[in-house]
Structure 1
Amino acid sequence: MSNGSHSTSQSNFEQGWIDISQPLSNKLAHWPGDTSFSYTFATKEQTGSVNVGRMTTSLHSGTHVDAPFHFLNEGAKIHELDLNLYIGPCRLIDIGDSEFINADALSSHDLNGVTRLLIRTKLPNNPNSFPDSIPHFTKDGAAYLGEKGIRLVGLDCPSVDALDSKELEGHHALHQNGVHILENVMLDQLSLGDYLLIALPLAIQDGDGSPVRAVVKPL
């Protein structure tokens, strides 16, 4: 199995936790037109006492969660979301070469009893290159997850919608079916199966999203 451009150290595997988040660096690809991630720091010599860093970034840089406020003016903001959504058992599936994340692509997988789902697509895990196109959710795919009781879905893509979408059909359909969104997780390195997931958003007052440090441990 390909490791993509994001390798996991042997020590992570020995300790049980596997980092599936994109490293935040000045090389990180970002949504065209959005604020890129930038990290700078003042040295001890400059400050007289400490090294101190500064970053600027979109809240949707790298591995991140979307709050409903991202696509709905009346939607819940990041500090209002239930943290239990982002901690707990999850299942990783692979939808192969599917162009769409629809009911057909999902129905061949056992999702009974699953509340958090990670979906590996054909998109290579390359955090330093923004893709030209991505697999994306359809209304019936979102409805299928809702019927199964999924409350959080994580993708190895920068969006649950097509990159040129203005209607954001996938975002809205997932929300209408009670499914929250985690994007840009790194899944190439993982075996399919069940894990414990931690992907906590920051407590950003009134935020429309948040970067996360997403980690999993095999169950």
Structure 2
Amino acid sequence: MTQPASPFAAAAAPARRLKLWDISPVVDERSDVFPGDTAYSQHVHFSLSPVCPVNVSRITLSPHTGAHADAPLHYASGASAIGAVDLQPYLGPCRVIHCLDSGPLVEPAHLAHALENLPARVLLRTARAASQSWASFTALSPATLALLASKNIALVGIDTPSVDPATSQHLPCHQLLLERGLRVLENLVLDDVPEGDYELIALPLKLMQADASPVRAILRELP
């Protein structure tokens, strides 16, 4: 009688390791912030020594430093702090759309080529080399954000400091985010990411009184 093969007779083939893209900028004293906002600083609080077993630092920073998620509280008094928002928009399928050389605003025509079967998360690459500088950057036109909202997205991300221009006083795109219940990621680095679909992982911290949170944003290759 033939004996059944042992399930342990041959080791299973190792699963293919999915490629990751780190889409977060470096955070340090050189990180640019909105003029007048809190710059990053770091100071030693405890130092490793014969009488101290650890190094511990104290850091001070704006929650809008580096790659970050804005909370509704950022643009509406009494709205939700970042620690209270649903995490689902920050985790799942997303599409990176290249909108290079769009000028001061990304308009609907700049992303019309990539809107078919859109997943719930969209990241826009506007620059050939991402910069956190507030001196000059590409923002979104309200028409573009309204178009994306009509596609039932949950989150939009951008590789610049803000979805609104630095000089805007009324922040129309931020107000659209509030009105449509959308989440936003700003200051991403998409320089090395080809246009296409990925898995986004960019969870904010559970800061229950904050108007934003830094995130370690990554993209993972789809299986």
Q: Same fold (TM over 0.5)?
A: yes
1:140 maps to which of 131, 139, 143: 143
Contiguous gaps of at least 5 residues in structure 1: 1-13
- Residues 92-103 of structure 1: matches in 2 within 5 Å? 92-99=96-103, 100-103=105-108
Indicate whether 1:25 and 2:28 are aligned. Answer: yes
| Count of aligned pairs | 204
Match of 1:70 in 2: 74
1:124 aligns with 2:129: yes
What is the identity, as a one-letter code, of the residue corresponding to 2:63? L
Larger radius of gyration: 2
What is the letter of the counterpart of residue 122 of structure 1? A
| Separation of aligned partners in 2, 1:48 and 1:132 | 44
Instruction: Quote the Cα distance in structure 1 between the aligned partners of 2:83 and 2:128.
Output: 30
In the alignment, is residue 89 of structure 1 matched against residue 125 of structure 2?
A: no
SS in 2 for 1:44: coil
Q: CA deviation at 1:104?
A: 2.2
- 1:108 paired to 2:113: yes
From 138, 143, 161, give the equivalent of 1:158: 161
Q: Specify which structure has the higher proportion of helix.
A: 1
Deviations 1:145-173 (A, max 9, x none): 11111110110001000011111111112
Question: 1:171 maps to what in 2?
Answer: 174
Matched residue type, 1:81: V
Match of 1:181 among 180, 184, 191: 184
CA separation in 2, counterparts of 1:122 and 1:60? 20
DSSP 3-state at the match of 2:220: strand
User: Secondary structure at 1:45's aligned position in 2?
Assistant: coil
Residue pair 2:164, 2:171 contacting (<8 A) in 1 also:
yes
**TM-superposed deviation, 1:132:** 1.8
Runs (5+) with no aligned partner, structure 2: 1-16
1:123 CA displacement: 5.9
Three-state SS of the structure 2 residue aligned to 1:18 is: strand
Tell me if the contact between 1:65 and 1:212 (Cα under 8 Å) persists in the aligned partners: yes
Q: Alpha carbons of 1:83 and 1:36: their partners in 2 closer, same or farther (altered >3 Å)? A: same
Report the TM-score, using the length of structure 2 for normalisation: 0.85
Partner of 1:52: 56
Alpha-carbon shift at residue 109 of structure 1 (Å)? 1.8
Q: Distance in 2 between matches of 1:148 and 1:27?
A: 37
User: Equivalent residue for 1:208?
Assistant: 211
